[in-house]
């Protein structure tokens, strides 16, 4: 095997030199740009270097093939191989250049965004700048936080208030407006068989949340409740819900398909409320989402509630919602508030999806650790400073 490098002003010239010396069967191993040497190299464009390999035994065999009339197409095949190598090298350089341009564009956009943010924040009173930092530190999206404090600036001027405490109170009122749409589950006194589906990704606590809701509806609201589970992927989930049902003293059915689901709903039609627990679905698995939609289309629930964990990134929460929205989402429940000090993800999500919040969960205890959101409490959580209320 013979390997040699060729340097020329451009790729085609280097390739021509390689063909003349190494033969048309030579294989291009690598191509790259190299800087010229010498003191004046700065003033000249870079050159192209290609690394070429040729097997002498293969070369002799190929030469013999070319002398045979039956092997006439061989050169064309070899030319196509070299052309393919050339095209691959060019495509590789184009992809690399495109990637660099995209990275540069993203960097420029980030710089522009940061400059705009600094310009806007720098023109605000110090107390508003401090509130902005608190919101951002609690994972509120920067654009949302900037919009909130910018609106507060005009309110402060109109009211003639200047102190931090006054600004904070106005900020609390502004934050409460984001949480004004709260809709827990309500069962009409003259309606039977209200059907509620709980959906969401794996690991967000749907099963435990259903147990809390069922217990509270049965014990506190005095409702006649039944449970159905479609989560047959995990034996432990069905058993867990069955255990909860026995403790609460309510019936439960485990179903495996649409026929079973219809039968269970018909069996419990005289109940006040029927909760349906579904298996956790990956938002990236369209087959699972379609399967879920099939169940919902069959059952026609009164409410479909999406369960989300606040420990998930805002961008991922939005993606999850967008995928599950395909089955029709009426409300959301946020779980695991006890596992974080940063609640900006809740604000960011509801700002985008414009859906009411039904409940928050704050722990694993059943039937406790679930509550109807309080806008004032939520606003204060968003203004926490270092894990404590500011």
Over residues 197-222, the pLDDT tens digits come to 999 998 899 989 999 999 999 999 99
How much is the pTM?
0.68
Write the pLDDT tens digit of every residue in 48-102: 888 877 765 444 444 444 444 444 454 555 555 556 566 666 667 667 777 766 7
**Of residues 286 and 109, more confidently modeled:** 286
At residue 321, the pLDDT reads 96
Domain 194-372: which CATH class? Answer: alpha beta
At residue 174, the pLDDT reads 92
At residue 290, the pLDDT reads 92
Domain coordinates in residue numbering, the chain: 2-97, 115-179, 194-372
Write the pLDDT tens digit of every residue in 27-57: 776 677 777 665 555 556 778 888 877 765 4
At residue 49, the pLDDT reads 83
At residue 60, the pLDDT reads 43
Beta bridge partners of 276: 197, 228
**Of residues 296 and 5, more confidently modeled:** 296
Six token digits for residue 125: 């009173």
């Amino acid at each position: 095997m013979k390997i040699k490098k060729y340097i020329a002003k451009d790729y085609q010239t280097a390739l021509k030199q390689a063909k003349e010396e190494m033969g048309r069967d030579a294989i291009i191993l690598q191509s790259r740009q190299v800087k010229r040497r010498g003191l004046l190299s700065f003033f000249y464009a870079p050159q192209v270097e290609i690394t070429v390999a040729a097997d002498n035994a293969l070369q002799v065999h190929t030469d013999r093939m070319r002398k045979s009339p039956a092997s006439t197409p061989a050169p064309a095949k070899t030319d196509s191989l070299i052309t393919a190598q050339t095209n691959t090298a060019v495509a590789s350089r184009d992809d690399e250049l495109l990637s660099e341009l995209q990275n540069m564009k993203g960097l420029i956009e980030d710089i522009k965004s940061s400059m705009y943010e600094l310009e806007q924040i720098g023109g605000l009173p110090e107390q508003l700048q401090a509130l902005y930092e608190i919101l951002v530190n609690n994972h509120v999206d920067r654009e949302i936080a900037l919009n909130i404090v910018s609106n507060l600036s005009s309110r402060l001027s109109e009211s003639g208030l200047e102190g931090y405490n006054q600004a904070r109170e106005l900020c609390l009122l502004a934050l409460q407006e984001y949480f004004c749409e709260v809709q827990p589950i309500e069962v009409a006194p003259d309606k039977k068989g209200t059907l509620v589906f709980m959906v969401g990704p794996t690991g967000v606590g749907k099963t435990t949340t259903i147990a809390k809701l069922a217990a509270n509806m049965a014990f506190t609201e005095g409702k006649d409740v039944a449970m159905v589970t479609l989560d047959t992927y995990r034996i432990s989930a069905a058993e867990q819900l069955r255990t909860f049902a026995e403790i609460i003293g309510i019936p439960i059915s485990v179903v495996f398909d649409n026929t079973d689901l219809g039968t269970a709903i018909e069996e419990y039609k005289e109940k006040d409320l029927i909760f349906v627990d579904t298996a956790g679905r990956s938002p990236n698995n369209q087959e699972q989402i379609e399967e879920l939609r099939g169940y919902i289309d069959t059952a026609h629930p009164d409410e479909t509630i999406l369960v989300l964990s606040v420990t998930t990134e805002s961008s991922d929460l939005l993606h999850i919602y967008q995928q599950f929205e395909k089955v029709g989402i009426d409300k959301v429940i946020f779980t695991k508030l006890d596992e974080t000090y940063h609640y900006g993800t809740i604000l960011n999500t509801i700002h985008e999806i414009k859906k009411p919040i039904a409940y928050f969960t704050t722990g694993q205890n059943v039937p406790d650790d679930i509550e109807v959101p309080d806008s004032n409490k939520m606003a204060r959580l968003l203004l926490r400073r270092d894990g404590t209320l500011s």
